């Protein structure tokens, strides 16, 4: 990713304090592609879509050295739809991420609109499609994307172990439990191995019901191929239970990278609305910052299950989807 970097040097005041350094980086993704959806009845929806492999965005991130190993950080990231030029995330100015924090030897604390630890484990560890293209794990599995009003603490790494703790304030007067989110993750990273155990809990608007999702995500890089695995245990607002199993891989061949995955959703309710997804995709690097991509995903729904094939930005309209597009990062 090419960075536009501005470095500012400021002298300390009265007592001739230490020199401090600040940096601000502008970055982004421009992604657009063709999406072809088909439902079980054979009806088709064809369109140009934004953010098929990765959500289109523009962002700013910064860091200021405060001395003694402490630094102030921030991220402001805005999503947009490159096919229409409109804002994403419901028109929010910085709908993708918006937070500020402190980092140092004792860990990092951030406050604002942030990705949940659960989502990051699914995206970065379990899913070879990285929550993109027609094979995204979000077609079937819970994602818990972003949490508003969130405070997160990330520990330093000790003996290859680290952890995240996150709390999203519901901000309802008179009852702190309403709309509240809580989550966390424990990571074990040893060279090519990444094992993450994460949990996310979300209260409803009355704090009478809650969703709960627990995910074990594993990734191992064998060199010639990377293997991915995920197992999720879920409880919905109505207290029904389900679990998901994901297995996948990615394999580079020169400028080309192949990805594939299989996901099985097991609905444990009386309705038994199970589903399976098969998906395959490929990326071809035109340069370090630009690539072409294609992907295909198909979902088999049972007993009235209604899962559809989407991508990094769209929810999808049918039980199969084909993508073809281009992505540029800067």
In tens, the pLDDT along 115-168 reads: 999 999 999 999 999 999 999 999 999 999 999 999 999 999 999 999 999 999
Q: Is the pLDDT of residue 5 over 70?
A: no
Average pLDDT (206-218) is 97
Q: Is the pLDDT of residue 18 over 60?
A: no
Percent of the chain with pLDDT over 70: 94
pLDDT at position 54: 98
Do β-strands 226-235 and 256-267 pair in parallel, antiparallel, or remain unpaired? unpaired
In contact, 187 and 195? CB cutoff 8 Å? yes
d(CA 198, CA 268): 21
d(CA 80, CA 321): 22
Token pair belonging to 305: 């299950």
pLDDT at position 10: 35
Name the pTM for this structure: 0.92
pLDDT at position 20: 63
d(CA 102, CA 176): 25
- On average, the pLDDT of the chain sits at 93
d(CA 188, CA 264): 25
């Amino acid at each position: 990713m090419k960075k536009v970097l501005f470095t500012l040097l400021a002298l300390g005041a009265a007592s001739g304090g230490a020199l401090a350094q600040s940096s601000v980086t502008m970055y982004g993704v421009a992604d657009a592609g063709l999406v072809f959806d088909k439902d079980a009845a054979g009806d088709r929806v064809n369109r140009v879509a934004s953010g098929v492999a990765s959500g289109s965005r523009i962002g700013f991130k910064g860091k200021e050295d405060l001395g003694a190993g402490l630094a102030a950080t921030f991220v402001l990231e805005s999503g947009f739809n490159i096919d229409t030029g409109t804002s994403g995330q419901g028109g929010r100015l910085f709908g993708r991420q918006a937070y500020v924090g402190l980092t140092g030897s004792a860990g990092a604390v951030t406050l604002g609109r942030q990705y949940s630890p659960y989502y990051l484990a699914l995206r970065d560890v379990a899913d070879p499609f990285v929550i993109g293209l027609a094979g995204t794990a979000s077609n079937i599995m819970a994602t818990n994307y972003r949490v508003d009003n969130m405070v997160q603490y990330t520990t330093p790494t000790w003996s290859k172990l680290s952890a995240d703790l996150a709390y999203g304030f519901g901000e309802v007067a008179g009852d702190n439990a309403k709309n509240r989110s809580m989550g966390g993750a424990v990571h074990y990273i040893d060279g090519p191995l990444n094992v993450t155990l994460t949990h996310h809990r979300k209260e409803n608007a009355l704090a009478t019901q809650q969703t709960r999702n627990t995910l074990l995500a594993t990734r191992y890089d064998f060199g010639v191929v990377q293997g991915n695995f995920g197992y999720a245990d879920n409880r919905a607002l109505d207290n029904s239970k389900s679990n998901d199993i994901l297995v996948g891989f990615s394999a580079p061949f020169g400028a080309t990278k192949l990805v594939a995955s299989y996901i099985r959703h097991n609905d444990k309710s009386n309705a038994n609305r199970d589903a399976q997804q098969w998906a395959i995709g490929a990326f071809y690097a035109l340069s370090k910052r630009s690539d072409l991509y294609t992907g295909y995903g198909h979902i088999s729904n049972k007993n009235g299950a209604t899962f559809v094939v989407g991508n990094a930005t769209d929810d999808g309209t049918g039980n199969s989807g084909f993508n073809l597009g281009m992505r540029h990062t800067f």
